[in-house]
Structure 1
């Protein structure tokens, strides 16, 4: 008979010959899916505090409260997912802004934190990292020339609340503000300054103006550095601009050479002028001192002259003659009894004796003549001294 007909052993056997009773007999064939599912539910109910209740039939129906077990499992999974997404870690270099129901709630620093999505929303950013933005474009200068000015803006976030809440896409606003500040500064600067030494001053002015814009917008961004790179003219007129730059460099080099020459000549001229002034002052002091000395000497001599006029007069005459004759090379001899004056050109005689050639002086006759001339000269000098002494 069939396994499920009345009076059969349907309570003990299944179509595959296995026993379904609780006696622990041998099971041959595939397991019962309903029983396996029931055992899984019972295990889960036991984990979550549920009670196992069996029906009155030997077949065993599904336990009551199985739906609540599945609901508990789903809730547990949802709770785990929510907890995983609600707990977050903020690094040392970061900050996080939490919004509750779309309104600012708090700003948190480094550490482990939790928030309550979907009621709360968080925005986390690195507030210590230096960020950079590069801009390049053609600008019109003050003297109506077109130049290409590349620059780099370095910035960081200093107020995360303003950065998140006050401006939509604050970095885009930074780019627009940078372009505005750059055009304003370049438009008020001459082309020569933009291409040469005016870049540093331009960078300072751009930074100040850009920071004012960002503070007005309350973006929470602080500009740390603005670097204006070497500007250049458009490609169409680059050669002409290069010629202008070379001419300006030549001008500056010539000016530096002229200043170097002036720095060398002017101090030298000033030194010479100062030396001449010092010489004049020394000469003046010397003349004044000599005049004072002569005046003092004359005053003392006058006192002695009043004491012995003849002796003093004779002494003055001898001193004067000695001073005059010591500086002359000519001698005038007055002969006795009204004879004519004898002129002795001592300088010519001495010069002639010194300039005589060696061959002539080596001859015997010339040597004797020179000796006689020297003896005569010495005799005449002695005669002159004898007459003066008389």
Structure 2
């Protein structure tokens, strides 16, 4: 039942607890009375005098009420200002304070205070390692397209430079990373990028990237650059695999050729060295034989000067013996000194033919001939006896 229905409110009061001013007046509540009560409470809070119930000094009471509202607003603003002005910096953080837009000071860890209206605070963690990842398609030195994913780790080394020198230092870091990686990859062959060359490339990218950061004075120190496993784009992966297999096959063929060369070349060099040694030995042999023949001729000349006729006959017999020793014909004398006939002598020619090779060396020694068939002096006693008889 509503409060203004007949019989619904036994005390006949409105929702604010006030009785109607008239006997049966059911009008709206008195708003002026509600404002007056609020002003009285504010005056009590801020030390103002309580408004009397008579209505003779309404203007003075309005002024004191407005002052109370202003005081309350000032207290709220002061509390909010103090809440923002006092701040705490952790051990891993630093803060840069700008006063009227210019650098004023750098604040370390602890409880600090600044003026929010005239000063501006930039607070950052300067010890935490931050990471930035990137992946993109790049062209290598041998004109192959590959995707190179990498991760850059960095930290803030100078907060003043980080805040003041560059509008967006981390965006500058990303753009510089892209430039450094493309420069290094563009000057490296694909095989080096895909295999053992990644560590060297990461070091080169780090040095180049840090030089960019120092030139821009961003206050950022690059701590590590990690080049992950590079691969070909998905669109050309099949063709890329075919190229890799072809290069592996090429390398395998090269290894087999090198293995074959390592086996053949030393053998050929050995044979060549053996031929050179044989030629050198033959040369020494020929020289020694020629020198021996020259010395033999000198000795023979001495003997010839002493007995020319005997020396000529000896040379003739030695030469004929050397010539006839290599033939299968055998000459027998037809008779003796008295003109009689000798008895028939049996000679085993077949055995002589078989043993010819064995007796060639001994006959050469006995006949005084060398390997070339040249006659030389002999010390055979029967031959000397034969020559002495013929000389008589």
Q: CA deviation at 1:143?
A: 2.4
Q: CA deviation at 1:253?
A: 9.1
Distance 2:113 2:247 in 1: 63
RMSD after superposition: 3.5
What do the CA deviations read for 1:50-86 (whole angstroms, capped 9, x no partner)? 344648x467746252221111111112212222222
Q: Structure 2 vs 1, CA of residues 108 and 17 (structure 1 numbering), >3 Å: closer, same or farther?
A: farther
Aligned length: 238
Distance 1:254 1:97 in 2: 68
Where do 1:1-390 residues align within 5 Å?
15-16=21-22, 33-52=31-50, 54=52, 57=54, 61=58, 63=61, 64-234=63-233, 235-236=235-236, 237-244=239-246, 246-247=248-249
Q: Structure 2 vs 1, CA of residues 15 and 54 (structure 1 numbering), >3 Å: closer, same or farther?
A: closer
Does the Cα contact within 8 Å between 1:139 and 1:147 map onto a contact in 2? yes
Q: CA deviation at 1:200?
A: 0.4
Q: Structure 2 vs 1, CA of residues 211 and 254 (structure 1 numbering), >3 Å: closer, same or farther?
A: farther
TM-score normalized by structure 1?
0.53
**SS where residue 125 of structure 1 aligns?**
strand
Q: CA deviation at 1:113?
A: 2.2
Q: Structure 2 vs 1, CA of residues 111 and 15 (structure 1 numbering), >3 Å: closer, same or farther?
A: same
What do the CA deviations read for 1:33-61 (whole angstroms, capped 9, x no partner)? 54453343233223323344648x46774
Query: Unmatched 5+ residue regions in structure 1?
Result: 1-12, 19-28, 262-390
What do the CA deviations read for 1:80-125 (whole angstroms, capped 9, x no partner)? 2222222222223222222111111222222222222232111222
Does the Cα contact within 8 Å between 2:40 and 2:51 map onto a contact in 1? no
Q: Structure 2 vs 1, CA of residues 245 and 164 (structure 1 numbering), >3 Å: closer, same or farther?
A: farther
Q: Structure 2 vs 1, CA of residues 251 and 41 (structure 1 numbering), >3 Å: closer, same or farther?
A: farther
Query: Unmatched 5+ residue regions in structure 2?
Result: 1-18, 263-392
Does the Cα contact within 8 Å between 2:42 and 2:65 map onto a contact in 1? no
Partner of 2:289: none
Does the Cα contact within 8 Å between 1:54 and 1:61 map onto a contact in 2? no
TM-score normalized by structure 2?
0.53
